[in-house]
Amino acid sequence: MPASEFELIERFFTRRGARREDVLAGVGDDGALVATPAGGTLVFALDTLVEGAHFPAGFDARFVGHRALAVNLSDLAAMGAEPAWALLGVTLPSADEHWLAGFSAGLDTLARRHGVAVVGGDTTRGPLTVSVALAGLVPPGQALLREGARVGDDLWVSGTPGDAAAGLAILQGRLTAQGRARDALLARFQLPQARVALGLALRGIANACIDVSDGLAGDLSKLCAASGVGADIESRELPLSAGLCSVAPPDARLAYALGGGDDYELLFSADPGHRARLASLDAGVVLKRIGAIAEAEGVRVDGDPVERDAGHGFDHFAGRPPGSR
Ligand code: ADP
Ligand code: MG
């Protein structure tokens, strides 16, 4: 974007997010400089959103801005890290100022809420694509990893998985809903809430943790593979929202909760000795015990193995969940 690139950056990408004392040079220099606490561990995550693949074409620009940061906040939450600095890559078909204003407002609001400063980025022309690289901090040795789950651990999930996928289905006309259920499910897809406070609270409690972005069962398989264990889910323990139950029949509810993407909840394992503490933990979201870590490899729901290709997960280069995206 030759002529107006500088102006676009000045108008839409400068002074975005929180003001942080540790940012020594931000947008405007060739690189960003941040001061790091001595001995701290840095955590990095990067997620890219491509229009049509990660959000529907024509999706409100505010929601795109929110989502671009939220998906990265969710990755840092899953690591038990405190988010701090973001780099923002924006590729746009044209310098659509109306779109940019919405996008930048959506991102700015969420960044401020989490104390994240946007310290730099890149702006180019092309098919609509947004990348955020987010860095954060965790005290040494305290990061939550996918590995570390132990046989006998309880398996926990936050929130009500499946809602976001139902919200997307409503947007795309694959599911019909009215009133409060419709609004609630749409909001869960449009404005996902990363569980940052929960991730911090789980330091020293969770043995392994992952964020649920590609479907609970598929992400659980990843946690199990990393930990060299298996897991059993009890379907009657799955925390289904009132909204999801009111729009989907029982079988479909389970498919949404286990296979739907975009939840951005945390899935983690913890020693049964932590039950009381976890049940009363106040990190802004309800936690539910849904099963246990087992020695036998693989993920089972009520004893039945989850089929690899049954739509429980989303892979850009392999099969896609039936009817989604
Ligand atoms: P350079 O040519 O040195 O890469 P740019 O013109 O790409 O510089 O960027 C100028 C400044 O604006 C840099 O500090 C860069 O980090 C920042 N910047 C560019 N695009 C964005 C963006 N989308 N969001 C935040 N900062 C950006
Ligand atoms: Mg550049």
Task: State the 10-residue block means of pLDDT for the chain, 325 residues long.
Answer: 75 96 96 93 97 94 98 98 98 95 98 98 96 97 97 98 96 94 97 98 98 96 98 97 95 94 97 96 95 97 80 41 40
pLDDT at 39: 87
113-152 CB burial, b ≥16 within 10 A, e <16: ebebbbbbbebeeeebbbbbbbbbbbeeeebbbbebbeee
| Phi, then psi, of 92 in degrees rounded to 5 | -130, 145
Distance CA 212, CA 87 (A): 23
Residue from 12, 14, 122, 129 to probe ligand 1 pocket by mutation (most atoms less than 8 Å from CB): 122
Nearest CA among 98, 230, 260 for reference residue 166: 260
- pLDDT value of position 323: 39
Please tell me the predicted confidence (pLDDT) of residue 116. Answer: 98
Nearest 5°: the CA angle 191, 61, 196 is 30
Q: Look at residue 314 in the predicted model and tell me its pLDDT.
A: 41
Q: What is the pLDDT of residue 308?
A: 60
- Determine if ligand 1 sits within 6 Å of the CB of residue 297: no
pLDDT at 318: 41
Amino acid 219: pLDDT: 97
Q: Is the CB of 52 under 6 A from ligand 1?
A: no
**Residues in Cβ contact with 296 at an 8 Å cutoff, skipping those fewer than 6 apart:** 230
Question: Counting ligands in written order, which one lies closest to the CA of residue 28?
Answer: 1
Angle between helices 179-190 and 163-171 (to 10 degrees): 100
Please give the backbone phi and psi of residue 239, each rounded to the nearest 5 degrees, phi first. -80, 95
Which residue has its alpha carbon closest to ligand 1 atom 24?
Answer: 121
Q: Which ligand is nearest to the CA of 29?
A: 1
**pLDDT number for residue 309:** 52
